[in-house]
Structure 1
Amino acid sequence: MPNMPSSRDQVLIEINELLSKHGFDTSNIYDRSCFDLVARRELLLLLMKVLVNVDGFSPAHAHEIKRVSKIFLASPLLIGLKSKNEILEEDVVYERHGIPVIAPTTLHNIVVEEIYPEIFADRGGYYVQIDGQVVKEIREQQNLSLKDLADQAHVSRETIYKYETGRVRAQPDTAFLLESILNMKITLSVNLFQTPQQENSTETKEGEPRELVDLGFGVINTNRTPFDALAQPETKISKKTEPLITDLEKNRNQKVLERMATNLKDLSDVIGTDSVFIMEKKKIIESIDGIPVVHNWEIEEMKSPAEFLKMLAERRECN
């Protein structure tokens, strides 16, 4: 990405091409969602939102993408060109509402060159995280006291102690000076690909459809995604029980349901999980364009999530 793209659509196209060329499976682009693109390479699953101005990223979208990322053990990432009137700098990590933010060139450097950013922007300027254990080990190997190293780095003895114990971050110039003095790399890369921390919440017991909740599924309804809900058994059935991507009938006509089925198949393939329609109609429909269908009245007759998953597997195999 040598030249900066000028529009959001262009950025999305270039990111999709970049990831596809370097071993990622990528989804379709979803414009009216908390994420625009999903990409997977081996164990790394990315949920990405792309904006020209990252200040347009709302707290509501941040909350939703965090919820979805937690369920799928994915890493949310915001790609942007600028903040207010300032261009986002290459190899610097920013943050909006708890979501890491990078420029397209930074993503390019990570994917193509495996160069991970070490500098992050925060109130007051730019900072790096120092590997305090390395600093202490090298300092002691060189028979330097805390004061000796502090004097050479033009900081206080207390500051060096805080670096070594991980209590403070450093400004880049100070960190680079320390690296020159110790003749050793001491800065840490920013961990961009974290899964949001789980929070204590009862929201997974309050979703729809109620039939799944009553059967023993945790259900999270979503408002800004290409699907209606995520469902997962509250008790583990097997070693690997993935969340289900779920769409509800909601009096939608056949064309809308078929369009939603396309989205479900696309996302299921990239994320590596199953998807299902929950229907209210009495007429038996076993699938919509290859996506299994289970009816509310069928769920009411079941006794456990295992029965539901067994029916889902049988209807998937029939397609």
Structure 2
Amino acid sequence: MTKDILIHQIIDVLEKSNFTVSSRCNIRPRSFDLAARQDDVLLFCKALYNIDSLNEETASEMKALAGYLGGTPMLIGAKTRDQMLEDSVVYVRYEIPALNVQTLYDYFVEGIPPLISAAPGGLYVSIDGDVLRDARSQLSMSIGSLASHLGVSRRTISKYEEGCMDASIDVVLELEELLDVALAKSIDILGPFHRSRQETDENGTLHPPTNGILSFIYGLGYDVLSISQAPFNAVSRDCSTTFLTGVSKYSNAMVKRAHLMSNISTITRTRSVYIIEGESKITSVEHTVLIERKELDSLSDSEELDDLISERASESVDY
């Protein structure tokens, strides 16, 4: 399977489950290939045939971007090391959920969440400790007798009931047969992901950017998340506005990136702004507002930039 085929399969699954999917992010390097939204669910999807080829830097940016925009990073692939990814199993790479296309389909199209997680040593299932405790009590079975039946320690049973230890598939099946209850807890692959610690200081705020223009935007009163593996250079926000932020000279390559930024911004529900170093021939590319650096220098706070973006966006025309 090639990466192109994998991406087409991902798009097909997401569209079948009523996601609006962005154009493919075709810059290199890239922290995500697709952004997709279904109501309040926002995904940043990275497609890799071998999920082990994800590196820490890309994963960190993926998590930071998703956390900053209220989304979920997701890795979709086909294999790990020398074996194919199994259906209904969630793998994890750098705290990002990784799964195959079939598991993606089951979750979003069929509404069937995965139950199994892969970890060093094998496949495991999270047990609903409350259900286990209630079922054991109803059978008047002590922790010791249950532990003896399974051939594990009393402490292991206690950890299962406290919800702080996963069990092997065989143990869960044996428990469910013995107690006649369903114990496996489904995995929430849309769980919260927060900004990477590398993107924040000890107080939990973003580090000031080092780029001159981004530093100026920061000085106007915006939080600025610098991005190195996307069509845009940053995501900037204040109390009223969030915008994808590009910075470069005017060029054909810049126009192509502005088109892609415009498309992605509709998915992320943000604005899209490109700061032009030098002169610009136009004032917008689709929904991406173009602002010359000299115009930026005349502004004194975020409110003035918000007003300029709004004014220019209302005048924007397709390019």
TM-score w.r.t. the length of structure 2 is 0.89
How many Å separate the matches in 1 of 2:310 and 2:138? Answer: 61
Structure 1 residue aligned with 2:289: 292
Q: 1:220 aligns with which of 225, 230, 233?
A: 225
Give the 3-state SS of the residue equivalent to 1:188 in structure 2.
Answer: coil
Runs ≥4 in structure 1, deviation > 4 angstroms?
Answer: 282-285
1:158 aligns with 2:147: no
How many Å separate the matches in 1 of 2:158 and 2:52? Answer: 37
How many Å separate the matches in 2 of 1:131 and 1:284? Answer: 61
TM-score w.r.t. the length of structure 1 is 0.89
Structure 2 residue aligned with 1:245: 244
How many Å separate the matches in 2 of 1:195 and 1:69? Answer: 10
Q: 1:14 aligns with which of 9, 14, 18?
A: 9
Aligned residues: 306
Letter in 2 for 1:7: T
Deviations for 1:265-284, whole angstroms, at most 9, x for unmatched residues? 11011111111111233668
Give the 3-state SS of the residue equivalent to 1:167 in structure 2.
Answer: coil
Query: Cα 1:283–1:77, aligned 2, differ >3 Å: closer, same or farther?
Result: closer
Quick check: 1:207–1:213 contact (8 Å CA) kept in 2? Answer: no
Superposition CA RMSD, Å: 1.9
Query: Cα 1:218–1:44, aligned 2, differ >3 Å: closer, same or farther?
Result: same
Unaligned 5+ runs, structure 2? none
1:147 aligns with 2:144: yes
Q: 1:29 aligns with which of 14, 24, 29?
A: 24
Q: 1:196-275 counterparts in 2 under 5 A?
A: 196-198=193-195, 199=197, 200-201=200-201, 203-208=206-211, 209=213, 210-233=215-238, 236-237=239-240, 241=241, 243-248=242-247, 250-253=248-251, 255-275=252-272
Quick check: 1:207–1:220 contact (8 Å CA) kept in 2? Answer: no
- Shift, 1:36, TM fit: 0.8
- Shift, 1:300, TM fit: 3.2
- Shift, 1:197, TM fit: 2.4
Q: Which moved more, 1:147-156 or 1:302-311?
A: 147-156
The share of aligned pairs that are identical, in percent, is 30
Letter in 2 for 1:196: F
Unaligned 5+ runs, structure 1? 1-5
- Shift, 1:169, TM fit: 1.4
How many Å separate the matches in 2 of 1:156 and 1:256? Answer: 63
Deviations for 1:127-179, whole angstroms, at most 9, x for unmatched residues? 11111122112222332221232233332222111111123211111112112
